[in-house]
Amino acid sequence: MGQGFLQIGLTLAIVILITPVLGRYIARVFLGERTLLDPLMNPIEHSIYVLVGVRKKDDMKGGQYARAVLASNFIMGIVVYFLVYFQRLLPWNPNGLGAPTWSVVLHTVVSFVTNTDQQHYTGETTLSYFSQVAALGFLMFTSAATGLAVGIAFIRGLTGKSLGNYYIDLTRAITRILLPICVIGAIALLLLGVPQTLAGTLVVKTLEGSTQYIARGPVASFEMIKMLGENGGGFFGVNSAHPFENPNNASNLIEMIAMISIPAALIYTYGIFANNIKQAWLLFWMVLAIFVVLVGIAATGELQGNPLVNASLGWEEPNLEGKEIRFGWAQTALWGVMTTATMCGGVNGMHDSFMPQGIFSTLFNMFVQIIWGGQGTGTAYLFVYLILTVFLTGLMVGRTPEFLGRKIEKREIILASVVLLIHPITVLIPSAIALAYPVSLSGITNPGFHGVSQVVYEFASAGANNGSGLEGLKDNTLWWNLSTSFSMLVGRYIPMIALLILAESMSHKPVVPETPGTLKTDSLLFTSVTSIVIVILGVLTFFPVLALGPLAESFKLAAGS
């Protein structure tokens, strides 16, 4: 027990140490300051800007930035759709795989272009190496860079700066952040035993004389952008539980650090943009505190194990169902909470086998979306909660709410409300439809309270652009492919548009002089109130489904039935 919690503590300590280093570097990249990669990347970036037809000083307004995001993502999605659909005619297909059904291809493309990477297929038996690496791998870079660009644009607007240029931000996110780290990380994974080959499936004879087929491929490069970019889509069906994606504890640590590094660092990046490192650290500790509580809930549930199983054994055993023994209960619980907190979605164990406490923690992460949140957009959602907290506290003391010296008015509150209300719509309405037709639509394999969790989890994963799932659900059907595609698109782009318009609105507001009555947003008191607002809004919005799912299942198990 002690060793498991020590592993969790050491992992989080590493995250705390690298946060200011990476956060400062990201700030330098997007502030246009000099970095070590300038001699290598400046000529490459200049060529891209000439090709696209943009200049570094071509700033965009909120609407222009949003249209650029939508247009580029739409074009990339169309191109990748046809690449996957016609994969049988393209190279790097040693196993001769044909085209998946149109609904699977549509769901897959929507999933990867929105940085969700929810998978209703098994990678090694469905997609060619070209489809996995050249098509989906391309989207894993661009979708992560899109989220990062929007997050930086929002931070710029919030701190009174112009929003910048989407194409420049997208390029620099890839060339200065994602690509360099992925090259180093992929080499490290390769050294640890993750394969990188274009050879086809290996056919071997076992000692018993039977034939075994061992899937392989260019996994190391795919795995690193999967984790760093908060993508989460696995090269193999069982994702990072597969020994070729995640062979040992060293690779497991590298992948977890990659998963959380950018979302955590972006909070510090905001502090540099706002010239308020104190507030950045307060927000970081607030998010970390909530995260630690959720990890504790999940880890304790897995350590205590299933009471029904323990009663039959006569002693307590951890819940190891659905887990890789090389990771155990602690690293699986930490990964499960982290992958839903960062909106990555990659798994090193089966979430459907988690105890109700673990399902509660993972669902709660996807409901609030800010612990630590997705690539760039999660940080923006965190400041939306800050704006709402400023508004609420301002009403309590009878003052016009202000954030960073800029007044929060009706327009900002409407846009902030849109950002936060879209998510429940993308989760609760389609969940209700699926549960209303349990035979024809839901795909539930474990009836009762756990079945409710299976359905709600799938739509929460889609709407939050997370991608993980309770894999007992029969989700490869026309209903699930189309309904979750809808949730992914709405959950991704409507909040993005609202965030960019909100950032544009904040960037043009004059700074109000500070007075003795000005609310301090970089205080421990205000940060504590913000955490309360986050928890209350998350619980009030989604409490009924939490009560009908993991909470009810937990009480049922505790009652011994």
Residue 490 pLDDT more than 70?
Answer: yes
The packing angle between helices 249-273 and 137-158, to 10°, is 30
Q: What span, in angstroms and rounded, lies between the C-alpha atoms of 542 and 212? A: 46
Q: What span, in angstroms and rounded, lies between the C-alpha atoms of 187 and 245? A: 13
- Range 60-91 burial, b when 16+ CB lie within 10 A, else e: bbbebbbebbeebbeebbeebbebbbebeeee
Question: CA distances (Å), 81 to each of 101, 493, 503, in order?
Answer: 12, 19, 32
Q: What span, in angstroms and rounded, lies between the C-alpha atoms of 280 and 266? A: 9
Work out the mean pLDDT of the chain and round it to a whole number. Answer: 92
Residue 518 pLDDT more than 80?
Answer: no
In the chain, the amino acid numbered 532 is I
Cβ atoms of 298 and 339 within 8 Å: the answer is: no
Residue 309: pLDDT band (50, 70, 90) is confident
pLDDT in tens, 19-44: 999 999 999 999 999 999 999 999 99
Residue 493 pLDDT more than 80?
Answer: yes
Cβ atoms of 49 and 55 within 8 Å: the answer is: yes
pLDDT in tens, 431-487: 999 999 887 788 888 888 999 999 999 999 999 999 999 988 889 999 999 999 999
Q: What span, in angstroms and rounded, lies between the C-alpha atoms of 371 and 352? A: 21
Cβ atoms of 196 and 190 within 8 Å: the answer is: yes
Q: What span, in angstroms and rounded, lies between the C-alpha atoms of 259 and 226? A: 8
Greater confidence (401 vs 165) lies with 165
CA atoms within 13 A of residue 186's CA, in its CB half-sphere: 18
User: At a CB cut-off of 8 Å and minimum separation 6, what does 488 contact?
Assistant: 110, 111, 114, 116, 118, 462, 463, 465
pLDDT in tens, 155-202: 999 999 999 999 999 999 999 999 999 999 999 999 999 999 999 999
Question: CA distances (Å), 411 to each of 361, 387, 418, in order?
Answer: 33, 12, 11
Q: What span, in angstroms and rounded, lies between the C-alpha atoms of 524 and 532? A: 12
Mean pLDDT of 531-546: 89
Q: Say what the pLDDT of residue 179 is.
A: 96
Cβ atoms of 370 and 263 within 8 Å: the answer is: no
Counting beta carbons within 10 angstroms of the beta carbon of residue 134, is it exposed (0 to 12), middle (13 to 18) or buried (19 or more)?
A: middle
Closest CA to 542 of 380, 466, 432, 446: 432
pLDDT in tens, 96-115: 999 999 999 999 999 999 99
Predicted TM-score of the model (pTM): 0.95
Q: Say what the pLDDT of residue 517 is.
A: 66
pLDDT in tens, 243-298: 999 999 999 999 999 999 999 999 999 999 999 999 999 999 999 999 999 999 99
The packing angle between helices 478-507 and 102-113, to 10°, is 20
**What is the enclosing helix (H) or strand (E) of 211?**
strand 211-214
Counting beta carbons within 10 angstroms of the beta carbon of residue 206, is it exposed (0 to 12), middle (13 to 18) or buried (19 or more)?
A: exposed
Percentage of the chain exceeding pLDDT 90: 80
Cβ atoms of 98 and 135 within 8 Å: the answer is: no
Angle at 143 between CA 87 and CA 453, to 5 degrees: 90
Biggest distance spanned by C-alpha atoms of the chain: 82
Q: What span, in angstroms and rounded, lies between the C-alpha atoms of 424 and 430? A: 10
- DSSP letters for 307-367: HHHHHHHTS-----TTB-TTTHHHHHHHHHHHHHHTT----SB-GGGS-HHHHHHHHHHHH
Instruction: Give the helix, strand, coil percentages of the chain, each rounded to 5.
Output: 70, 5, 30
